[in-house]
Amino acid sequence: MDQFPDRIDSRFRYVLLAAQRAEQLMRGASPKIETTASKPTKIAMDEISSDLVNWDYGPAPEVEEAVDVEAAEG
């Protein structure tokens, strides 16, 4: 496996990012890197290794209030 940037915290995340980016490439997105690779998965992995794929965790989930089941039933 290619070396990936420090901000990617696990191999699992690396695989998820590469799969998502490869899907974008297959749907017509332009590569962010010049490469001799022809397969979208390899292009995606090269982009991630070059730290060209931006990602984040997204917004924090909203906290739901706990419901007291016994009080709701009674």
The DSSP result for 21-61, as a single string, is HHHHHHTTPPPSS--S--SHHHHHHHHHHTT-------SPP
Q: What domain count does the chain have?
A: 1
* Structural domain span for residue 30: 1-58
Q: Give a yes or no: residue 71 inside a domain.
A: no
Q: Give a yes or no: residue 34 inside a domain.
A: yes
Q: Give a yes or no: residue 2 inside a domain.
A: yes
Q: Give a yes or no: residue 27 inside a domain.
A: yes
pLDDT band at 2, cuts 50/70/90?
A: low
> What pLDDT score was predicted for residue 16?
93
Give every CB contact of residue 47 below 8 A, 6+ residues apart in sequence.
21, 31, 32, 33, 53
Q: Say how far apart CA 46 and CA 15 lie, in whole Å.
A: 12
Statement: the pTM of the whole predicted model exceeds 0.85: no
Q: Say how far apart CA 18 and CA 3 lie, in whole Å.
A: 13
Q: Give a yes or no: residue 39 inside a domain.
A: yes
Q: Give a yes or no: residue 7 inside a domain.
A: yes
pLDDT digits (tens, 9 = 90+) for 14-73: 999 999 999 999 999 999 999 889 999 999 999 998 889 888 777 878 888 877 666 656
